[in-house]
Every structure is written in structure tokens, then in C-alpha cells.
Structure 1
Amino acid sequence: MEPLLLGIDVGTSVVKAVIFDRAGRLVAAAHRIPRLIHPEVGWSEADMEELWQDVVTVVREAVAKPGVEPSAVLGLGVSGTCCSSWLLDEEGKPVRNAILWNDGRAAGIVREWHDSGLMDELFAVSGNVVFPGYTVAVLRWLKENEPETLQRARHSVFCKDWIRYRLTGEIASEHTDAGSVPYDIREGRFSEDVFTACGVPEALSLLSPPKDPGDVVGHLLPEIAQLVGLPSGLPVIAGMMDVAATTLGTGAIRAGQACSIVGTSFLNCFLLDKPGFEPPGVGVQMRTTGNVWLRAMVNTAGTINLDWFLDHLCPAERADPKLAGAGIYRWAEAQAASVPLGASGLIYHPYLSNAGVVSPFFHPAARAQFFGLSVDHTRAHMLRAVYEGVALSMRDCVTAIPDAVDEWFMAGGGSRSDFWCQMFADCTGKAILVPEGEEFGARGVAMLAGIATGVYADVADAAKSVSRVRRRFEPDPRLTERYARLHDIYKGVHRHLREDWWDRFNMLNEFDKAAAKSA
């Protein structure tokens, strides 16, 4: 009987359970759309119990599909969104809703740390720029605004840790998520100095020492096994945060390789043989498997820019049954392709997320905008500018990192678009490799589960077994040169806007306070 491996991927916009064979081919999958909660503008939360039920549902559905022999499933892993605050009480129950990675309530705290120079100190220890959704920032906000929440908490875990805990009854953390607390990346441990400097020394005791991502940290509980249709006692690995898992799932495993993930957020991930600190003050970083570190240059909004545009500025096309499914994206590409490179001088900055932007500069109050809009521009020009704006954000990140890259993979929903992939290649001057498959986050943790259970000898064997390039996009040097000129203006505009973004942030706070007083 051929071995099967289960990967659970808990994302912001979708929860998936995917079963793979040894060659990394998808055997069965199921998904659900999780409910996000927005108590106030700029806030983002999730009901932890509700999310757990979503996971139970998708695992049960995937296991019940044709072609799956439950007894052939040898191990499982979980990947999930990073950062944030998932607090448990002494009974292991949620203290409150999880505060997610893209929550912006701690932006004012983060700005204080930036202005005081603390951010530079944190980067020197962790290799991470702390944005509002980072665990220490959220914990500080809770201390100031919900002190009773911290007083009730006995454990601070991460998204995937919460799901793994419900699967196994074991509480644990691991290195890829620990990086976004942040922690001491050289020593691979949580730092008392970091928690003290951030004003939450009492919260350090809430975290457990991090394990390696591929360590078996528990086994599937009998009652959960019966609930989802899997063998009891199935080994469950520590897992990975979704960015690291996706990078591994594409086959990028060694220094010199890179992976861009064009999903809800947009991450350009560089694999290194040691922690990287140049240039300082940009990006996020974590230890992955073996002696490999991942440094990600992050624009916190990726494909969400295109979906936002289609939802709000193309409602008739969204509602057209002839453009259902992928049809709306083919229509959007045709519209954008009808406009020449540069969108006739219209430039878009893709900073839609309430978390702002992290790379190649850090600004939690940054927001999106069109620059250069005139009466001559049409909706097609705006669409072209959105596609190009996301591609220019990749060039913005690529040009900031000095490390040489000899292979560049691309994953995420945006990688399905040949039009966009070619634009990424032309804009950056890099050849782009799109691997076979789609569920790379789930595949990454399934690979680790396979190593832990003897399906693969090691990471290299796992990558060799599952990774195959499906499409390759070569850059056109003539277009790369034109994009370089466009990028000069793109950079100049966002440099001039940095104080204006803070002025906007302060104005909105003033308006909110005035409205609260008059209510």
C-alpha cells in the first residue's frame, strides 16, 4: 500500500486539508472559508473554536474522498498564519478571540518603538521588523487595554499550535513561528531582554521552548481520530508557519534559492546559510529546517489588491455568470494587456493591508494609492497599474537584498496567471519557475511528516521526490529596463508619502475619539 501524508493549512482566507502520495501528488483535498471578525476598522480576529471546527470538517471530508485509504496515512503536519495572539487559559481553552497577523490595533505602539530606536534593537537581536500583528506588539496592546485577558492567560501559542493542540492534547511551539514573536534568532530561543524592552516581561512565561519543525510533538488523540476517520496515534509533527511551509513545498530547501508567494500577502523569501542582517531594518526572518534560515521581504497585500479592484470597481463583471470562476481573471488580464507597459503614467502602490508594509521599508500606517490619475485613464489603465504595482513591489524587495539567487520559485494564487508571472520576470529581470501543484503550504508540512515517519530519508530526498517545474518564464531585458525607470518613480512617490501616512493615521484616531465622545 502506497503511503499517504496529510497536510493541514490554516490560512487567513481558506482552511485546507490535503492528502498527498509519496511523489507529492494531490490525492484528495477539502477546504472551507473561515469567518473573519472585524470588531473595529483595522482590527482582525478569529473565533478559535470555530476555526477548529473548520479544520475538523475539512480533514473529515478529505479522508472520506475516493482514493483515500485512511490506514495508509502515516503522519500529518499543520501549517498556519504567523505572529498574532492565540491565548489559552489554565484549562487549555481560548481566553478570547485570536488577534490575527493582519490586525492593526497595535500600530501606535509599534510607531513608538520605531521612533524611540527600540525597533533597531529588536532587529539586531531577531532579524525581524516588528509590525502591529507581531506577538509582542499585540501582547503589549492587551496589557494596556485588556489587562484581564493577560491575567487569565497561561499559554501563548500560534495558529497551527492551537490546531495541533486540539489534535494531540500537547502544547508546543517551533522555530518558524517563534521568529515572529520575535526571538533571538542567533540563539534560537525566546529572549527575556526582548520581552522586557517591549514592556511585557510577564508574558515570556506564556511561551514554551521552540522545537524543530519536523519533530514529532504528539499523536492523534483517539476521540479526534474517530471524529475525522484517521488512525488513532498518528504521529503529528511540530509543523511550520505558512510562509516557510509553502517555500519548502515548492522544493526550495537550500541557500541560494528563493520563493515568491503571491497570495493574500506577497512574500519574497530568500534562503540563507546563516541569519542575515543586511540591509538592516527590513523584512522578517526565521530558522527553518537544518541549518537554513528564511528571510522574507514582505508586502502584506498581494492578490488582495486585484480582488479588491474587481469586487469594488468591476461589480458587473463579477456578477456575470459567463465570467464565473477563473473567467473574471482572464477578463482582467485581457483588459490589462490592452494597455501598454507603464499604464500611461499611472502608478499604484499595493499597500491595502491594515498591517501596512514591512519591506523593503517598514511603515505600519502605509496604505494603497493611485498616482498620476488623469481624465485620459480608463478602468483598463487602473487594472494594468494594479498588476504592475504588485510586480513593482516585488522588484522593490528583490533589489534590497544583496544575496545571490540561482533559482527562483513562485507559488500562491498569483502564480496561476501566466500574464502576471511574465510581468514578474520582466519587472525583476529574474527567471521565474512555477512548480507543479498548488497546495504548497500543506505539501511542505506533509513532507516533514514524511521525513519523520521514514517515507523520505531527509529534506533533500523529500524535495527531489515531490518538486517538478511546470512552467518557466524568462525576462525580456528590454522590458526590464523600462520597468526599472518606472520603479524609480514608484520608489520616489512612496518615499514622499511616509509622513503623510502617519498624518492620516493620527487624523483617523482623532476622528474616532471625537465620534466616541459624541455617541
Structure 2
Amino acid sequence: MSNDEAYFIGVDVGTGSVRAGIFNRNGLLVEYSEKTIQTQNLAEDFYEQSSQEIWEAVVLSVREALKLSRIDSTNVRGIGFAATCSLVCLDAKGKPVSVSPYNNDDYWNVILWMDHRAVEQAERITATGHRVLKYFGNKISPENELPKILWLKENLANNFKRVEHFMDLCDFLTFQATQSTTRSLCPLVCKSGYLASEQQKTEQQKSRLDDTSGWDETLLQEIGLNELVKEGYRRIGIQVAPPGASLGNGLCETAAMELGLKVGTPVGCSMVDAHAGGVGILGASKEQNTLCENKEYLYEKFEERLAMIAGTSTCFMASSSKPVFVPGVWGPYFSAMIPNMWLSEGGESATGKLLEFIVTNHCQYPFLAQLASEKNLHVYEILNYVIFLLSKEPKMTPEQVVSRIQSISASVMKQQMNDVFTHSSLGEIKETKNNDTKLCGEDFSLKCLQLTKNIHILPYFHGNRAPYADPTLRGMISGLGMDNSVIALAKLYFATLQALCYGARHMVQVLNEAGHRIQMIYLCGGGMASNELFLEQLSDSVGCPVVIPVQSQYSVMRGAAMLGAVASSYFSSLPVAMEAMSSVQQIIYPKGQESLVKRHHDHKFQVFLRMYSDQIAYRNIMGQSL
């Protein structure tokens, strides 16, 4: 088999869908397929899914991608899986066990990552002050697995006893594929308190001399999960492997038949989706064909790069050769993403979801959705164009704006936007090709910024994941008026984009203050990574280059495919695969340090920080009432 015939499948299980992609040895997507999955939401903060439905969607996606690609399954060298950090509950026969207190239907056996039912349990675990919490930013999130398991014990005791396997969703996928119960180091370290580095372990842990040495029995005992210790940790994992390790004997007969692949096809140990996204982008370089086996050189480059995986929520991944402790930020985790490197993980709990919430709940949304459908555009593209129009003619009335966007063709609209962003994203002063849009990089930015000068948003509508690590925080909007026109929605949308950028800036600031040395952001995701207005705001507000890898919207799938490539031994290590299978498409540079744009963002970032302080002050005042 020649190198050109080597393909790798990456499966990405997100919040709302399953995607399976086929990649060549250069990391380019050949074909993919996507299937939606359901979420049951019967009460506030309760979000549940079905592992059965998820696996069925995996099967359909892989088979359809193979069919569309017309690739012979014998040329698929390996397969890897990535998924949200959701908790799957299975009985001794591998069958689902219900996690729902409302219908107790075993079909719903997955507590979704965004489920916040275990806030009280998370607070109690945090209150122990246990030494393991040092590696979680000193605060456990209700999105982690231990609070969820504890909630099940305290609220669904009979179901808790029935569970034989508590698995992260990504581990469930490899279990279905191989029948191996080996857990991935990635979710265990990041979501369950497993300690992977010898320097983290007590002498008693080291004496166990097996994979269970990563579990600190005193933590589990202290938080009320002593039975997991007495059982020898079998329900949470007694065999552990690093991401990309080859599992079992590859695809088992049943899974191979379902997926349409060869029995024994290598299966890579899995990852949480955000971490797979980091793997899928951080190796990208401007220089092509520069494959390097020098790990020290690669690791030095990784330390300068922050992975920003934007989707429903956003995750920030910062790597370092030594542990860096950042209050309110998860980690440092050892070998959770890049082998032998420490990982600090922050995040914004709602980003794409927040933007969707703001836009779809506005009275102008139905009109814009219909218009976008007629023009075969996304609503956000229409809103970006409204901001563009207002930057040129700030005194346009809502009627004039509507008339303009109704009369202009989608191709002309896109061309005008491409012209201005091509130049503004480079931070250069150049006239656009279209004589009707003579806007310079900084001039365009300043005119846009003027539109939201007095509209400020704190984007913590679903709490704050980092650096405050407070799921009870809520969103705030300052500067609303009585206007409910398309213009008002566009400004609110733009202010939300900016708020998300200030959240990213806050993350970079606290990471670097703690000891990281981030110099650029590597961004992947769907709409965020292709939204030029957002990219310009991100680069200018944070003050560093933003790198967009080739086919960035498929980065999680690509990272998963890399796990299959390493499992097959096609590449010698994960860092080598990262470099070989990713490349740079675009770099957005910020305006200069002395620019008026930077000064504006500096001032608005001060308001962003002040809004959090104000919310805390409001709570303190109201705490003195009833």
C-alpha cells in the first residue's frame, strides 16, 4: 500500500451532532458526514442524551462518509474518536442506565457536559480543600465527572448501584469500537481528578505500581465515594492509556461490520473534543513540508500557542513544559493533550450558544432569517453587512438599511465584505478595489467600534467557567434603549462578539500573568473561525495574531483522525502527526500598540472587568435583604 492510499477517520461527537471525516496523510478532509442527536432537557440545568443514539449516529456518519468518498475501506489505516466531556452510565452488560430523575428511562443514560445539576456537590467537593484540587484551579466545576457521579449516588441510588462503568463519552466510543474498557488519560485527568505525573502522587499511590495509582483514594473517600475505592476503582477505570495509543485488537467484529471497516483496524485512545481540537490545530505552521522530529523545538513552539476551540462554548488550551498554576483555571493537567506537557484549560461556558440566544430572541430575527434564507446566507452575514453599512453611513435609518440589504445581491455583499476585511485583517492602510467602499483598515475598525461605544455586555449567561470558576454568574447588558429595529439588533450582535473577545483577552491575561508565554491564538470552530468581523475584533482586542488553520471547521475531526494515525504507527508520535497533518490558512494581525483601536478596546475591557465587580457588589447588597 502506497502512502497516497493512507486515510484516517476522525469522529467528533459534539453537543448537537456527530460528524465523521476521512482525512488523507496531509490532514486534508476528503469527505465527511454529519447526523444530528437529541438532548433531553426536562428541567433547568438538566441536559441528557442517549449513548445508543450517539453510537447509531456514529455508524451512519462513518458509513455515509465512506460511501461519498468512494474510498476502499482497506485503505483506512486507523480511526480515532473525540467527544464532549459527558458522563455515560452502563451496566455490567454494557447496557444503558438512566441518569434522569424525571422519567427514569434507561435510554437517557448520558449526563451532558453542560448539565449543571451537580452545583451543590461541586461546591462540597471544593470545600474539602483537598490537595488534588490544586490541579483544578482549586475549584471543581459541576461539569466535571466526580460531582455528577456523586449526584447520582445521592439522588438516584438504585441506578447508581446498577452502574458498572462510569465512562466519559469519548471512552464509551472506543469501548463500542473495541470492547476495551481502557480509559483515556485525557478525560480522566481533566474531568475526574486522575493524577498522571509521578510528582503528583503520594507514596501510597506510587506503591500500587499500576494504572490505579493515578487515583487518590483520600479524595474519593472524603467526598463520599468510598465504594469506588473499595471496589478497586473498577467502575471508573483500572486500565489507562495516553491519547493515540492503540486499543485492544483494533475494531472488534461487531463494530467493524457496523462501520463498514476491516476487523482489526487500529483504534486510537480517545480525547475530549476540545482537546482533540487543540491537537488538530496547534501543529499548523506557515512553512510547508518542514516535518520535524525535534521534540524540544516542537514543544517550545507549542508553549507560545493558545488553542481556542470555539463552538457552543469555547475552550482555551495553554501548554507548558512545567506546571503552571492559574487560579480559577483547570489544571495544570499532565499529558492530557500533548504528551509530557502540562495543560491549563480555561473556557467560556456559552459563546456560539450565547450569540444564537441574543440574535434569535430579538423581534427582528424572523425577518432576517427569511431574508438570509432567500439570499442563501447566514443571518450573521447579514448582520455583519449591517455593521459594514453603518460604518460607512452612521445616520442610515432602519428603513434605508433594510432597503439596501433587500436590494443587494449576496455575491456583491460578500465581495464588499471580503474587500474591506482582506485589508483590515492585515492591519494595513489600503484602498479597497470597490470605489464605493473606500475604507482603510484602522478607519473601518474605528467606525465600527463607534457603533457599540456605549453598549456593554458581560457574557456570563451560563455562568463563568474561567477564570472566576463561578457557574452562578449571569449575563449583563448595559446601554439598551427602546429601539428594536434591525440596526439595534446588529449593534447588540456586534457588542456580543466584542464581549466574547474580551473573555478571550481575560483568559490570555490571567494565563500569562501566572507564567504562560502565549504569543498567538490558534482558532478553530465553525462560524466563529470564518466570521471576519469576529476575527478582527479578537485580534485587536487581545493584541496578538490569530491563526486560522486550513479547514479549521474540521479541526476536532482532524485531531481525532490523528489519534487513529498514531495508533496505526503511521506517525511515530502525536506531536509529529500534529505537525504533518495541519497547516496555516490565514493569520489576522492586530493593529499597532499605539493605535486608537487598541486604546478603545483597552477602555472597553476595563468596563468588561468592572461589570463583573458590579454584579458581585449587587449580590452583596441583596444578601443583606430577605
Same fold (TM over 0.5): yes
Question: Which residue number corresponds to residue 22 of structure 1?
Answer: 25
Deviation at 1:134, TM superposition (A): 0.9
Deviation at 1:375, TM superposition (A): 4.0
2:241 maps to a residue whose letter is K
Question: Which residue number corresponds to residue 490 of structure 1?
Answer: 608
1:341 aligns with 2:449: yes
1:229 maps to a residue whose letter is G
Question: Which residue number corresponds to residue 237 of structure 1?
Answer: 268
1:192 aligns with 2:217: yes
3-state SS of 2:43 partner: coil
3-state SS of 1:171 partner: coil
Structure 1 stretch displaced more, 44-53 or 283-292: 283-292
1:441 to 521, 540, 556: 556
Deviation at 1:365, TM superposition (A): 1.1
CA contact (8 A) 1:247 1:269 kept: yes
CA contact (8 A) 2:19 2:35 kept: yes
Structure 1 stretch displaced more, 422-431 or 196-205: 196-205
Question: Which residue number corresponds to residue 591 of structure 2?
Answer: 476
Question: Which residue number corresponds to residue 244 of structure 2?
Answer: 214
What are the residue-to-residue correspondences of 1:63-102 with 2, within 5 Å? 63-82=66-85, 84-96=86-98, 97-102=109-114
Classify 1:101/1:436 alpha carbon distance in 2 versus 1 (closer, same or farther; 3 Å).
same
Classify 1:107/1:326 alpha carbon distance in 2 versus 1 (closer, same or farther; 3 Å).
farther
CA contact (8 A) 2:508 2:518 kept: no
Classify 1:255/1:55 alpha carbon distance in 2 versus 1 (closer, same or farther; 3 Å).
same
3-state SS of 1:345 partner: coil
What are the residue-to-residue correspondences of 1:286-325 with 2, within 5 Å? 286=333, 287-313=336-362, 314-320=365-371, 322=373
Cα deviation code 1:53-89 (max 9, x no counterpart)? 111111111111134121100111101111x421111
Classify 1:387/1:120 alpha carbon distance in 2 versus 1 (closer, same or farther; 3 Å).
farther
2:386 maps to a residue whose letter is Q
Write the distance in 1 (CA, Å) between the matches of 2:266 and 2:344: 29
CA contact (8 A) 1:17 1:55 kept: yes
Write the distance in 2 (CA, Å) between the matches of 1:227 and 1:324: 40
What are the residue-to-residue correspondences of 1:367-446 with 2, within 5 Å? 367-375=474-482, 378-402=488-512, 403-413=516-526, 414-437=528-551, 438-446=553-561
Write the distance in 2 (CA, Å) between the matches of 1:56 and 1:504: 52
1:58 to 47, 51, 61: 61
Write the distance in 2 (CA, Å) between the matches of 1:367 and 1:16: 32
Question: Which residue number corresponds to residue 352 of structure 1?
Answer: 461
1:408 maps to a residue whose letter is I
2:242 maps to a residue whose letter is D
2:193 to 177, 182, 187: 182
Question: Which residue number corresponds to residue 224 of structure 1?
Answer: 255
3-state SS of 2:344 partner: strand
2:456 maps to a residue whose letter is I
Question: Which residue number corresponds to residue 110 of structure 1?
Answer: 122
% identical equivalent positions? 24
Write the distance in 2 (CA, Å) between the matches of 1:383 and 1:433: 23
3-state SS of 1:425 partner: helix
3-state SS of 2:510 partner: coil
CA contact (8 A) 2:88 2:166 kept: yes
Classify 1:385/1:270 alpha carbon distance in 2 versus 1 (closer, same or farther; 3 Å).
same
Query: CA RMSD for the aligned pairs?
Result: 2.4
Write the distance in 2 (CA, Å) between the matches of 1:369 and 1:171: 44
3-state SS of 2:590 partner: coil
Question: Which residue number corresponds to residue 280 of structure 1?
Answer: 327
Write the distance in 1 (CA, Å) between the matches of 2:348 and 2:18: 22
Deviation at 1:191, TM superposition (A): 1.8
Structure 1 stretch displaced more, 462-471 or 16-25: 462-471
Classify 1:103/1:333 alpha carbon distance in 2 versus 1 (closer, same or farther; 3 Å).
same
1:167 aligns with 2:177: yes
1:33 aligns with 2:33: no
Deviation at 1:22, TM superposition (A): 0.3
Classify 1:379/1:292 alpha carbon distance in 2 versus 1 (closer, same or farther; 3 Å).
same
Q: Scaled by the length of structure 2, what TM-score is found?
A: 0.76
Deviation at 1:454, TM superposition (A): 2.7
Write the distance in 1 (CA, Å) between the matches of 2:74 and 2:521: 37
3-state SS of 1:237 partner: coil
Structure 1 stretch displaced more, 490-499 or 167-176: 490-499
Deviation at 1:126, TM superposition (A): 4.4
1:228 maps to a residue whose letter is L
Question: Which residue number corresponds to residue 251 of structure 1?
Answer: 282
Uncovered stretches (5+) of structure 1, i.e. residues with no partner: 511-519
Write the distance in 1 (CA, Å) between the matches of 2:162 and 2:355: 41
CA contact (8 A) 2:372 2:379 kept: no
Classify 1:223/1:325 alpha carbon distance in 2 versus 1 (closer, same or farther; 3 Å).
farther
Question: Which residue number corresponds to residue 467 of structure 1?
Answer: 582
Deviation at 1:93, TM superposition (A): 1.2
Cα deviation code 1:464-497 (max 9, x no counterpart)? 3222111111111322222111111111111221
Structure 1 stretch displaced more, 254-263 or 22-31: 254-263
2:518 maps to a residue whose letter is V
1:151 aligns with 2:161: yes
CA contact (8 A) 2:540 2:590 kept: yes
Write the distance in 1 (CA, Å) between the matches of 2:255 and 2:271: 21
Classify 1:61/1:306 alpha carbon distance in 2 versus 1 (closer, same or farther; 3 Å).
same
Cα deviation code 1:101-134 (max 9, x no counterpart)? 10011123333445x3x35744314456421121
Question: Which residue number corresponds to residue 270 of structure 1?
Answer: 318
CA contact (8 A) 1:8 1:18 kept: yes
1:110 maps to a residue whose letter is A
CA contact (8 A) 1:10 1:79 kept: yes
Classify 1:7/1:325 alpha carbon distance in 2 versus 1 (closer, same or farther; 3 Å).
farther
CA contact (8 A) 1:283 1:297 kept: yes
Write the distance in 1 (CA, Å) between the matches of 2:347 and 2:117: 19
Classify 1:315/1:232 alpha carbon distance in 2 versus 1 (closer, same or farther; 3 Å).
same
Write the distance in 2 (CA, Å) between the matches of 1:257 and 1:60: 35
Question: Which residue number corresponds to residue 328 of structure 1?
Answer: 379
Write the distance in 2 (CA, Å) between the matches of 1:280 and 1:22: 40
1:201 aligns with 2:226: yes
Classify 1:103/1:503 alpha carbon distance in 2 versus 1 (closer, same or farther; 3 Å).
farther
3-state SS of 1:472 partner: strand
